[in-house]
Amino acid sequence: MASADSEEQVFNGIAASPGIAHGQVFLLRQKELTIRKYKISEDEFRAEEMRFEAALMETRRQIQSIRDQVKGTLGEDEARIFDAHLLVLEDRALIEESIREMETSFENIEAALWEVGQRYIQAFDQMNDEYLRERASDIRDVFRRLISNLMGQQMEKLSDLVDGHVLVARDIAPSDSASVDSSNLQGIVTDAGSKTSHAVIVARSLRIPAVVGLGDFTEKVNHEDVVLVDGYEGRVILNPSEDTLFKYGKLKIERKGLEDKMIKLAQKASTTKDGHKIQLMANIEKPEEAKRALEMGADGIGLFRTEYLFMNAHMAPSEEQQFQAYKTVAETMGDMPVIIRTLDLGGDKIMQSGEFAHGHESNPFLGYRAIRFCLDHVDLFKSQLRAILRASIFGNVRLMYPMISGQPELQQANQILEDCKHELAEEGVKFNSDIKAGSMIEIPSAAIASDLLVNDTDFFSIGTNDLIQYTIAVDRLNDRVAHLYEPTHPAILRVIETVIRNAKEGNIGVGLCGEVAGDPVMVPLLIGFGVDSLSMSAGLLPNVKYVVQHMTLDEAEELAKMALAEPDSTKILESLLDFYTTRMAELY
């Protein structure tokens, strides 16, 4: 334990769940699982298989019991993560591969399972998509439990965690986070992990401050040391001084007051001081997220990324399953718009197995992706369009196509939509025949020639995540070129302004749904360019709404004029920051 006069030390990681926590460390030292390996003979194969079956059953029973426990404390949505664990245990391919491994290596089943597990974990670890990469920790968790059961060992338990502690661990497996009594927990700090790890998702939903990605922090602390967790800035302070505690105590009170105020403001209209309405909408990936969008004051769903219905499944969901998902969102949002984006599979969002599994591509982001993939799989595309059309009578449903590169693609997609309408009408199925169909503008060719698209589409939605990566030729997932990914690059601003101007001249609506839309520093500029709506993660809505409510359209237009005349992207950013910090002092 650190002595009272120990020096204060500051560690920087990733801010994963906002808030400030202060307490003693509960250090979870995870024992490395030591696998017993030994040779077996062919006569022993059957006995090993039976041990394996018994361990599978026991593991299933344990996970089911954790699932029930989580359902009771956190609810059905959080409990569903353990369905993925149960699926791993039921995966015949995995079971058979483990038995084959045992039969070819002549090693005990634990050893075989370890080999196969490593192969699976490695495959997930190497995926580009952060969400899928995180699933490696689910698989690791299941394998650890399965092997522990085979060896008759107990997994470490977190249930000893006593009141008021900050949990510090190398990583927290989903079943570990399930066994924590959250009322005992002040904060979470991990060496590994990212913003999408399960423990962090749970921390956020329970409003427990968390900092992850701290490298080797567990090596630097002892049980019962005192830490301060700053989940806003991603900072952990070991042995905080009196001064630091005082400063953070004040900050905690201020932040809490501000957050309460923002949530209240979020229920008021997103109108500038001079009465100009900007529609602020939410981006969602799962139907359940629509409720939170409403709580955060969204004016609708500006982007429903439907590929997540596909990515976590072995098979494409049926038309009926999709219809139910779209209907749920439409009904939750009432008469507010719900823009369902058709499938954007490809790039980093791929199906791992089944009929639509992606083969290798040397440039997946320039390859077989989104509308290109759908126009080549017309039956799959039609099942989605039919599901959207059927859901359209349950709310204010619209749709949009991702990755449109030019007019022929757009016309082809529209023709398939018309065919679906025709089929449904013949079948006597109800749908909104005037459904609005828009285009995402995220490829430079579509942006530059957007004047040629306005007659074939009902609205534009600018996808800056891709538009920036394609315009500046900078991979949005590659850390080494991240410094080049500049939303204020003069070319990006010109391209965004061109699309908005073309939309206005063509009398169609224009929104923006990339990450830039949720950046309060960029928002005044986008409004100055004339955007009608901005769509972002629900959690960002209160901040952005605050910004909209504290500026005028004139000010935004002045900023837009300045930005288009300035060749230096850093100076543009500085001017935007200047506006933001002086006008939004309270927020900043």
Using CB under 6 A, list all residues that contact ligand PEP. Answer: 303, 305, 344, 442, 463-466, 513-514
Nearer to ligand PEP, 172 or 492 (CB): 492
402-403-409-412 Cα dihedral, nearest 10 degrees? -20
- Closest residue to Mg ion using C-beta atoms: 466
Question: Which span (87-95, 99-107, 221-229, 455-463) binds Mg ion, by CB under 5 A?
Answer: 455-463
Judged by beta carbon distances under 5 to 8 A according to partner kind, the member of ligand PEP, Mg ion, none in contact with residue 22 is none
Report in angstroms how near the CB of residue 142 gets to Mg ion at its nearest: 32
Report in angstroms how near the CB of residue 311 gets to Mg ion at its nearest: 15
**Those residues with Cβ within 8 angstroms of residue 125's Cβ, 6 or more apart along the chain or in another chain:** 133, 136
Q: Do residues 274 and 293 touch, judged by C-beta distance below 8 A? A: no
CA-CA distance, 190 to 216, in Å (whole number)?
Answer: 9
Judged by beta carbon distances under 5 to 8 A according to partner kind, the member of ligand PEP, Mg ion, none in contact with residue 513 is ligand PEP
Which three-class secondary structure state does DSSP give residue 185?
strand
Nearer to ligand PEP, 305 or 386 (CB): 305
Nearer to ligand PEP, 129 or 259 (CB): 129
466 binds Mg ion (CB under 5 A): yes
Active site residue 358: no
Two tokens at 202? 């749970």
Residues, the chain: 588
Q: Do residues 487 and 468 touch, judged by C-beta distance below 8 A? A: yes
442 binds Mg ion (CB under 5 A): yes
CA-CA distance, 98 to 100, in Å (whole number)?
Answer: 5
Residue ranges of alpha helices (H) inside 75-127 are 76-79, 81-90, 92-105, 109-125
107 binds Mg ion (CB under 5 A): no
Distance of CA 292 to the CA centre of its chain: 14
Nearer to Mg ion, 466 or 519 (CB): 466
Residue ranges of alpha helices (H) inside 274-357 are 289-295, 307-311, 319-333
Q: What is the DSSP letter of 39?
A: B
Report in angstroms how near the CB of residue 495 gets to ligand PEP at its nearest: 13
Which residues in the 147-176 window bind Mg ion by CB under 5 A? none
CA-CA distance, 328 to 290, in Å (whole number)?
Answer: 9
Judged by beta carbon distances under 5 to 8 A according to partner kind, the member of Mg ion, ligand PEP, none in contact with residue 514 is ligand PEP
Report in angstroms how near the CB of residue 533 gets to ligand PEP at its nearest: 13
Judged by beta carbon distances under 5 to 8 A according to partner kind, the member of ligand PEP, Mg ion, none in contact with residue 464 is ligand PEP
Report in angstroms how near the CB of residue 563 gets to Mg ion at its nearest: 23
Judged by beta carbon distances under 5 to 8 A according to partner kind, the member of Mg ion, ligand PEP, none in contact with residue 239 is none
- Catalytic option among 22, 85, 165, 513: 513
CA-CA distance, 311 to 324, in Å (whole number)?
Answer: 17
Nearer to ligand PEP, 370 or 559 (CB): 370
Report in angstroms how near the CB of residue 342 gets to Mg ion at its nearest: 12
Report in angstroms how near the CB of residue 356 gets to ligand PEP at its nearest: 18
Judged by beta carbon distances under 5 to 8 A according to partner kind, the member of ligand PEP, Mg ion, none in contact with residue 173 is none
Nearer to ligand PEP, 218 or 457 (CB): 457
**Those residues with Cβ within 8 angstroms of residue 6's Cβ, 6 or more apart along the chain or in another chain:** 238, 239
Judged by beta carbon distances under 5 to 8 A according to partner kind, the member of Mg ion, ligand PEP, none in contact with residue 48 is none
Q: Helix 569-583 and helix 490-505: axis angle, to 10°?
A: 70
What does residue 517 show for φ and ψ, rounded to 5 degrees? -60, -25
Among 234, 297, 463, 520, binds Mg ion (CB under 5 A): 463
Report in angstroms how near the CB of residue 476 gets to ligand PEP at its nearest: 8
Two tokens at 151? 């060896």
Judged by beta carbon distances under 5 to 8 A according to partner kind, the member of ligand PEP, Mg ion, none in contact with residue 305 is ligand PEP
Per rule CB under 5 A, count of chain residues that contact Mg ion: 3
CA-CA distance, 444 to 492, in Å (whole number)?
Answer: 10
Question: Which span (18-26, 164-172, 237-245, 434-442) binds Mg ion, by CB under 5 A?
Answer: 434-442
Question: Which span (71-79, 268-276, 300-308, 442-450) binds Mg ion, by CB under 5 A?
Answer: 442-450
- Catalytic option among 198, 374, 420, 489: 198
**Those residues with Cβ within 8 angstroms of residue 418's Cβ, 6 or more apart along the chain or in another chain:** none
Q: Which residue has the tokens 């080999």?
A: 115
Nearer to ligand PEP, 78 or 466 (CB): 466
Nearer to ligand PEP, 101 or 515 (CB): 515
Two tokens at 360? 């290798």
What does residue 375 show for φ and ψ, rounded to 5 degrees? -70, -15
Q: Which of 548, 524, 14 is nearest to 230 (CA)?
A: 14
Distance of CA 125 to the CA centre of its chain: 17
Two tokens at 33? 């699982």
Report in angstroms how near the CB of residue 270 gets to Mg ion at its nearest: 24
Question: Which span (60-68, 107-115, 126-134, 441-449) binds Mg ion, by CB under 5 A?
Answer: 441-449
Q: What is the DSSP letter of 508?
A: -
Active site residue 198: yes
Which residues in the 488-527 window bind Mg ion by CB under 5 A? none
Other CB atoms within 10 Å distance of the CB of residue 273: 13
Residues noted as catalytic: 198, 513
Under the rule (CB under 5 A), what is the footprint of Mg ion? 442, 463, 466
